[in-house]
Amino acid sequence: MTLTPNTALNLAPFGRWTLRDKAAQRRLAPRYASQMAPRRLLLLVLLAAVSHPYAVAAVELSPKSLDRKAPGYETISFVSEGPAYGHTDGVVRGRYHRILFLNAGLAYDRPVIRLETLTYGDEVCCRRVVAAWEIDLNALQDKGVALPDAATTALRFRRWSAASSAEFRYGDLNCRLSGIGNQKVSVSCNK
């Protein structure tokens, strides 16, 4: 497809337009724009691909359900509690999630992310773990996410973005964990 110059869009000598030129401009401009649309779309697709070369689509994981017993203190490397949600006037005043990073102790093992749902009563009294799950980072690698070397990479918590989603950094990957507390958890990572 070759583009020919649109004489109706070109300026008349000395920058003057006649009524006929203005009418032709209104009539021909949409056709000229439609000839450019496929090229613009291709350019946008190429720019999008270049700007995020390491983006990984979200991976759905099914966290392994655990008993509510607390993990060994020596294995916990980090703990963070998210914002409260589900406020009520009953004995249970609300809920929140907690994330724990657990290290197995072996140099070549990837850390494990433990997710817990807790309830609390009046004035944050009577906190109880009501559910616990575990996500093994090796499951991410099994789903196609290229993870860095386990022996030299640290897992760092970044922030809670909502009551059921958090962000963490694993090596040079920025990851977002969404759907905490559900049967399926979504993990998306990019460089």
Element (H, E) at 31: helix 19-51
What is the extent of the structural domain holding 23? 13-51
Q: Give dist(CA 159, CA 130) in Å, integer.
A: 23
> What pLDDT is recorded for position 79?
93
88 & 169 share domain: yes
Q: Give dist(CA 187, CA 178) in Å, integer.
A: 6
36 & 64 share domain: no
Q: Where residue 80 falls among pLDDT bands split at 50, 70, 90?
A: very high
**Could you tell me the end-to-end alpha-carbon distance of the chain, in angstroms, rounded to an integer?**
38
103-126 mean pLDDT: 83
Across the chain, the runs of DSSP E, i.e. the strands, are 59-61, 64-66, 76-81, 94-102, 112-120, 128-136, 155-162, 165-170, 173-178, 185-190
User: Could you read off the pLDDT of 137-182 as tens digits, one per residue?
Assistant: 888 888 888 888 887 888 899 999 999 999 999 988 999 999 999 9
* pTM, two decimal places: 0.67
> What pLDDT is recorded for position 45?
53
43 & 107 share domain: no
44 & 64 share domain: no
Q: Are 160 and 82 in contact (CB under 8 A)?
A: yes
Q: Where residue 50 falls among pLDDT bands split at 50, 70, 90?
A: very low
> What pLDDT is recorded for position 37?
59
DSSP string of 133-170?
EEEEHHHHHHTT-----TTT--EEEEEEEETTEEEEEE
- Whether 2 is in a domain gets the answer no
Range of weakest confidence among 45-49, 63-67, 92-96, 180-184: 45-49
28-48 mean pLDDT: 57
